[in-house]
Amino acid sequence: MPVLIDAHMLGAGETGNETYIRGLLGGLLEIGAPQTVAVRESGLRPLAQDAEALANAGRSGFAGAQGPADGASAPAHDVRVLRGRSDVVRLLTQLPALARSTGASLVHCTYAAPPRSPAPTVLTVHDVSFLRYPQAFTLRDRALLGTAVPYSARRAAAVIVPSEHTRGEVIELLHVPAERVHVTPEAADTAFRPVPAAERTGALRRCGIGGPYLLSLGNLQPRKNLPRLLEAWRRLRDAGGLEGHRLVLAGGVHGKREPVSRLVAELGLTGDVVLPGYVDAADLPALYSGATAFVFPSLYEGFGLPVLEAMACGTPVACAEAASLPEVAGDAALLFDPLDAEAIAASLGALLGDAGLRSALAARGLSRAASFTWAACARATLAAYETALA
């Protein structure tokens, strides 16, 4: 069942999209199901790094433009390089040409697929936030996503989503028949593990963090609900409940920018909040592990991978009772109403003031995170491929 997987986002800093495709490619190799993978030149280095990690673990590797990794064993992905940076060229000519030349039975894309393809398409849709929270996107992005995603989803032989919540959204808002929508839950990468304090120093220094802190991670855009989190933090500060902690808001900006720095200043929190910006993936396990707790107040997530990443690092989690987050967190997180700053403050206060609660949530979180694997995601993806072919 040769499948052409569009992995153009590798090396592009597309956060969740890149994390997903790297995890899926690794999971496919782990279960011995290599495919043809289309990447841009910027994606060759991440593939080589993943090949080395898999080879060191005694698993499969990647083959292609740079050859197989040293020590890697077959099977391996067949890597094809997409020249140039144009998404229009990629969708209209490059992917269809690759599908023909490689004899692909399916073409698997994320969000947008070629309008004319010699093989049926499979489409991954992580969420439809551009419809639920259009204010989080620029006018250009709303127009592109609002046109390309519904068109590609309705034409796809199968649509892959990360959660039951997103499955319902795709059926309702994109009008895709239920039998064509398949759930393939994602997972935290194996790099996310508890990092000892001695190994965290460099990462914390690069992020400008000293002393105890609570961590929040994500795109700094409106649907991440940062104004209410900052209001909750101010309430805790005014009540003397911070216990010497600062709040670290880590993340870059994709789509519309939330004026976080201005909000911090307006609330008088300049000394209580750290804004390190985009954090390199290699530093994230240390950043999670060093936090007293992780808070994720997002109003809308298709899956909410940071919740599992924090849990895998042994960090207690408090997150919004919204969209897919309760589905992902299970009983391993403290849930709060994301529209209520007082409720957010109460949850954070409970975590800061109760070591026993933190310990219990950390233990449940480790178990919860371990129940999600990229190998399981890959098996579910293969099942979706088989249904699409049928």
User: In order along the chain (390 residues), what is the average pLDDT of each group of 10 residues?
Assistant: 92 82 94 94 75 61 48 73 92 97 97 97 96 87 94 98 98 97 96 96 94 90 87 96 94 64 90 91 95 96 96 98 97 97 97 97 98 98 96
347 contacts: CB under 8 Å, gap ≥ 6: 295, 318, 334, 335, 336
Q: Examine the domain organization and report whether 148 and 246 are in the same domain.
A: no
For residue 375, give the H/E element and its range.
Answer: helix 374-389
Q: What was the pLDDT predicted at 62?
A: 58
216 with 296: CB under 8 angstroms? yes
Q: Examine the domain organization and report whether 261 and 204 are in the same domain.
A: yes
Q: Examine the domain organization and report whether 27 and 161 are in the same domain.
A: yes
CA atoms within 13 A on the CB side of 53: 16
Distance CA 295, CA 256 (A): 22
Residue 224 belongs to a domain: yes
Separation in Å, CA 140 to CA 5, 111, 145, 353: 26, 16, 9, 45
Q: Examine the domain organization and report whether 305 and 164 are in the same domain.
A: no
Q: Examine the domain organization and report whether 207 and 340 are in the same domain.
A: yes
27 contacts: CB under 8 Å, gap ≥ 6: 187, 373, 374, 375, 376, 377, 378, 379, 381
Q: Examine the domain organization and report whether 63 and 180 are in the same domain.
A: yes
Residue 297 belongs to a domain: yes
Tokens of 28: 């496919």
Residue 177 belongs to a domain: yes
Q: What was the pLDDT predicted at 51?
A: 65
Q: Examine the domain organization and report whether 201 and 342 are in the same domain.
A: yes
Q: What was the pLDDT predicted at 162?
A: 98
Structurally, how many domains does the chain consist of? 2
Query: Collapsing DSSP states into helix, strand and coil, what is residue 248?
Result: strand
Residue length, the chain? 390
Distance CA 98, CA 30 (A): 25
What residue spans of 31-86 are helical by DSSP H?
44-56
310 with 365: CB under 8 angstroms? yes
**At 26, which CATH number?**
3.40.50.2000
Residue 201 belongs to a domain: yes
Distance CA 260, CA 230 (A): 9
CB crowding 209-241: b at 16 or more within 10 Å, else e: beeebbbbbbbbbbbbbbbbbbbbbbbbbeeeb
Distance CA 269, CA 230 (A): 8
User: What is the distance in angstroms between the CA of the first residue and the CA of the last residue of the chain?
Assistant: 12
Q: Examine the domain organization and report whether 228 and 148 are in the same domain.
A: no
CA atoms within 13 A on the CB side of 186: 32
Q: Examine the domain organization and report whether 225 and 296 are in the same domain.
A: yes
Residue 365 belongs to a domain: yes
Query: Collapsing DSSP states into helix, strand and coil, what is residue 13?
Result: coil
248 contacts: CB under 8 Å, gap ≥ 6: 207, 209, 213, 214, 215, 216, 273, 274, 276, 287, 291
Q: What was the pLDDT predicted at 72?
A: 45
Q: Examine the domain organization and report whether 172 and 128 are in the same domain.
A: yes
Q: How much is the pTM?
A: 0.90
Residue 118 belongs to a domain: yes
Residue 192 belongs to a domain: no
Q: Examine the domain organization and report whether 55 and 158 are in the same domain.
A: yes
Q: Examine the domain organization and report whether 297 and 210 are in the same domain.
A: yes
Q: What was the pLDDT predicted at 178?
A: 98
Tokens of 42: 């910027």
Q: What was the pLDDT predicted at 55?
A: 63
CA angle at residue 16 from 10 to 22, to 5 degrees?
40
Residue 220 belongs to a domain: yes
By residue range, what is the domain housing residue 328? 197-370
Q: What was the pLDDT predicted at 229?
A: 96
